[in-house]
Amino acid sequence: MNLTTLIMAAGQGKRMQNPERSKVMHEIGGKPLIEYVIRLAIDSGSSLIVPIVGHQKQSVIDFISGRFAEHSGKIKFAHQDVQLGTGHAVMMTEDIVKGKAGNVIILSGDVPLLSLGTVNGFRKFHEEGGYDASLISAVLDDPSGYGRVLRDADGNFYDIREHKDCNEEEKKCREINSGIYIIDNSLLFDGLKTLRTDNAQGEYYLTDVFRHFRNSGKKIGAYITDSVAEISGINTIEQLQALEKEYFS
């Protein structure tokens, strides 16, 4: 099935302690974080790759355009100059992506260890399960700070709740959302139009489209991965150094 890849790459990464550099241009293993994610999108066979750029965006555009010049025909940039949340980031791609057949996979530019094997397994799960929208989840010993994947008594997905919006019972849930999604492109942008900012951070949460889809009778899948490292995003210099030491030294 035709695949479009969107890559979240607009953030400043305030905890990276360098406002002069885009978060995704910090290096691990001698390469910018974004290089790993673009390469993964290419290797997945995506027909269209859309990095969503914002903070210090010209440096990101220049790097990708130079490093992946031979793939320039399939890479198109979307611009999120004001960061109003993950849902808002995807809204910025509508002119490029809407109307394309197939599925959209949404990746984060600060998750460098995600493997092609996991992506292929996720796609197979989504397509063979007949899901309209799916996410990758993982079960953590300490899920503090992560959005929770909530299931009903039968084990079926019913919501994603950001940590700050969880009640005390929901915070006990150990299944977390990775921020990696596949959504049928014919549903994506209509779903985004339902987003509101009435949450703890006053942002458009992409995760809220899953609640809309569920309420609309769509089939939602949650693919549990055993590899927590693969879905680990880098939010601080300390996390970057820890992953560098464990996987690149």
The per-residue pLDDT for range 1-34, each reduced to its tens digit, is 899 999 999 998 888 878 889 999 999 999 999 9
Is 236 within a domain?
Answer: no
Residue 19 is predicted with a pLDDT of 83
Q: At what angle do helices 33-43 and 57-67 cross, to 10 degrees?
A: 50
Give the CATH number, domain containing residue 63.
3.90.550.10
CB distance 139 to 42 below 8 Å: no
Question: What Å distances lie between residue 36 and 65, 138, 150, 182, CA to CA?
Answer: 14, 21, 30, 19
Q: pLDDT at residue 121 above 90?
A: yes
How many C-beta atoms surround the C-beta of residue 98 within 10 A? Answer: 12
Is 160 within a domain?
Answer: no
Residue 148 is predicted with a pLDDT of 97
Is 129 within a domain?
Answer: yes
CB distance 88 to 203 below 8 Å: yes
Is 42 within a domain?
Answer: yes
Q: How many domains does the chain have?
A: 1
Of 18-22, 40-44, 107-111, the range with the lowest mean pLDDT is 18-22
Is 96 within a domain?
Answer: yes
Is 230 within a domain?
Answer: no
Q: pLDDT at residue 150 above 90?
A: yes
pLDDT more than 70, % of the chain? 100
Residue 23 is predicted with a pLDDT of 95
Mean local confidence (pLDDT), 160-170? 92
Number of H helices, E strands in the chain: 8, 11
Q: pLDDT at residue 212 above 90?
A: yes
SS3 80: coil
Is 37 within a domain?
Answer: yes
Cα dihedral 221, 90, 54, 160, rounded to 10, equals -40
Q: pLDDT at residue 172 above 90?
A: yes
Mean local confidence (pLDDT), 215-243? 94
Angle (CA) 221-152-115 rounded to 5° is: 30
Return d(Cα 43, Cα 10) in angstroms, integer: 22
Give me 20's structure tokens: 């002069």
Question: What Å distances lie between residue 144 and 21, 29, 32, 175, 207, CA to CA?
Answer: 28, 28, 28, 11, 18
Of 50-54, 125-129, 243-247, the range with the lowest mean pLDDT is 243-247
Residue 161 is predicted with a pLDDT of 92
Question: What Å distances lie between residue 102 and 46, 91, 182, CA to CA?
Answer: 11, 18, 10
Mean local confidence (pLDDT), 181-205? 95
Can you give the three-state secondary structure of 190-214, one letter per residue?
HHHCCCCCCCCCCCCCCCHHHHHHH
Residue 35 CB contacts under 8 Å (≥ 6 apart), including other chains = 63, 67
| Reported confidence tier of residue 73, pLDDT bands at 50, 70, 90 | very high
Is 73 within a domain?
Answer: yes
Q: Which domain holds residue 121?
A: 3-133+179-223
Return d(Cα 158, Cα 25) in angstroms, integer: 36
Residue 141 CB contacts under 8 Å (≥ 6 apart), including other chains = 174
